[in-house]
Amino acid sequence: MEFSAPPALYGHPDMMTPEDAYLMAINACFHMMVLWAAKRFKLELVSLECTAEGEVEEHIDKTSWFKKVVLHPRIKVRVSSEGIVKRMLEMAKKYSTIAESVKSEIAIEPEIEIVK
């Protein structure tokens, strides 16, 4: 994979940055754990999409870090309850090695649809 610094830091546009990879690693690991947790909860998963966005905090000395990463899963399950799906998502986060290894706060803001 080729990486570049963000364009604001004299990097090349349209190339993946280490910041992109950070968000992608958290999102991909969480996504895989959602698939695993759905089986554990015996949920019939109809569809799953998940995006991630990061909140960067910049310090006075111009250093920065990802203060918060928000995962936005859009999940559709057959015949369940929203409460069970939310518990499953929390379990997925708990067992996500990457999400549990970073110092950023990880928040989950799901969009849940229950279908018959």
**Does the predicted model carry a pTM greater than 0.75?**
yes
On the question of pLDDT at 103 being above 90, the answer is: yes
Domain 15-115 has CATH 3.30.300.20: yes
On the question of pLDDT at 94 being above 90, the answer is: yes
72 and 112 in contact (C-beta within 8 Å)? no
Residue 30 tokens, joined: 């969480």
Q: Where are the domains of the chain?
A: 15-115
68-81 tens-digit pLDDT: 999 999 999 998 89
Task: Give the three-state DSSP class for 53.
Answer: strand
